[in-house]
Chains A and B, each alone.
Chain A
Amino acid sequence: MSETASGGKTPPTLTPAAFHIMLVLADGENHGYAIMREVADHTGGKMRLGPGSLYGTIKRMLADGWIEESDERPDPELDDERRRYYRLTGVGLKIVRAEAERLEQLVNIARGKRLLRNPRSV
C-alpha cells in the first residue's frame, strides 16, 4: 500500500479488477478460480478475468499488502491442496470500504440528478 493510502489521506484508486476481487474476498478467503467465477457472476459475465489478469492483480495486491495468502486449508478431501487461498488484510478492508463509499457518493449524485431509471434497484 502506498504511503498516502496507509496514512489515510487519499485512498488509492482501485482498478476495476482489484475492486471486484476485493469484493469477493470481503465474504471470506477464497482461491483464484472461485474468485474468477464469482467476479463473473457478480457482473453478469460483463467482467471476465483471465488467468493473467487475475494473478497479475493478485500479485500487485499482495505486494501492496491489501490481501494475503491464507495458511488455513479446507479439508484436503474436499479441495485441491495445491490451491492458494487469499484473504483481505485490515488495510485491504479499509481500502475496499473507502472505494465502496466513494462509489456510493457518486451514485447518490447521479440519483440527485435523476439519471437513474430505477433508483430502488441500485
Chain B
Amino acid sequence: MNSFSLANSLSVSVRLYRALLVAYPKTFRDDYETHMVQVFRNSFRDAYHCNGMPGVIDLWLHTCADLFVTALIERISEGSQYMFSPKVILWGGLASLFGGLFWMLTGLSNSPAALVLALVLGLGGLVGLYSRQAGQGGKLGLAGFALGIIGTVLPLAAIWWGFTSGLVANMKRDPASVAPWAFIFPLALVISGIGLTLLGLASWRAKTPHGWRGLPLGLGLLSILYSLTIWLVGIVPLSQGRLPWDTWNFGFYVLYPAVNVLLGLGWMGLGLMLTTEAGPQVTQSPPASA
C-alpha cells in the first residue's frame, strides 16, 4: 500500500469509526468522541506501519469487539440512572400483576393473544424486579435480567414468525413439521426461567424486596417447571405427528392449565409485592461502579 492509499484508507476508517461511535450514549460521546477518534487514528497508523494490512484488519476486529461491549456497558450504566426509580418499580409491578392474569387466561383458554400479552407484560415485571434491586443484585442480577429478557423476547419473535410465515396455519395438516419451530418455546422459557431464578437469587442475596424474598426465586423455578410441561404436553405429541389437543389427555387438559394458573398467581404475587413496595420506603442506592 503506498502513502496515497494509506491516507485514503486511514481517512475512510476514521470516518467509519466516528460514525460507529453513535452506539455510545450522547453524554459519553460529547466527553470522549474526539479523544477516541484520535486514539483510533494513532492506532491505525501504528498497526499499518508494524504489520501492514493484516495489522489493520486485526485492529478493526479488535476495535469492533471493544466498541460493541463498551457501548453496551455505557448504555446500561446510563440507563440505570433512570431505571432505579419508584415509578419504574410501580409500573413494573402493575405490568406483572396484569401479566399474571393473562398467564392464567392462557392456560384456561389456550389463546395466543393472551400468551403474547402475558409475555409482553412479563417484560415489564422483569424490569420492575430488576429496578427494585437498585443495583444491589450485582452481576448475578444483571445476568438474570438479561437472560430473562432474552428468554421472553425469543418466544415473542417466534410467535410473530410462526404467524407471518404460515407455520401455524400448517399445524393441523402436518403437526410434525412445526415441532422444530415450537421447540423454541420450551427452550426460550427455560432461558427465561434460569434468568428469573438468577434474578431471584440476586434478590435474596441483596435482601430486596424486604418482604416475600423467596417469591422471585420461586417464580423462576416455576418458570423452568412450566417449560418442562410445555415440552411434555406440546412438543412430544407434535413430534409424533399429532396435535396436543386432538385426544383427551391429562397433560394438556389438566397439567398445562394448572401450571399456567400457578405461574399466573406467581406473577400476580410479584406484581403485588412490587406495587406495595414502590412507595416512599423504597431506598435508592446507586449502582456499583468500576
Contact = CB atoms under 8 A, between A and B. Distances in A.
Interface of A: 2, 14-15, 18, 32-33, 36-37, 48-57, 59-61, 63-64, 80, 82-84
B289 interface: yes
B24 interface: yes
B32 interface: yes
Interface string B251-290: 0000000000000000000000000000000000000111
Contacts of A84: 35
Nearest to B42: A33
Nearest to B63: A50
B62 A61 contact: no
B42 A64 contact: no
A76 to B, nearest CB: 15
A83 B66 CA distance: 21
B243 to A, nearest CB: 51
A2 B288 CA distance: 9
Contacts of A36: 39, 43
B9 interface: no
Count class of interface residues, chain B: 20 to 34
A90 to B, nearest CB: 18
A33, A57, A84 interface centre (most CB from chain B within 10 Å): A33
B153 interface: no
Interface string B36-58: 11111011001000000000000
Main secondary structure of the interface of B (DSSP, over half): helix
A64 B289 contact: yes
Contacts of B70: 50, 52-53, 56
Contacts of B67: 50-52
Contacts of A18: 290
Given A59-B28, A63-B289, A33 B36 contact: no
A33 B38 contact: yes
Given A33-B38, A51-B40, A82-B38, 15 more contacts: A18-B290, A33-B43, A36-B43, A37-B46, A49-B66, A50-B63, A50-B65, A51-B67, A52-B36, A52-B67, A54-B36, A54-B39, A55-B31, A57-B290, A64-B290
B63 A59 contact: no
Contact of B66 (A2, A15, A52): A52
Contacts of B63: 50-51
A32 B42 CA distance: 11
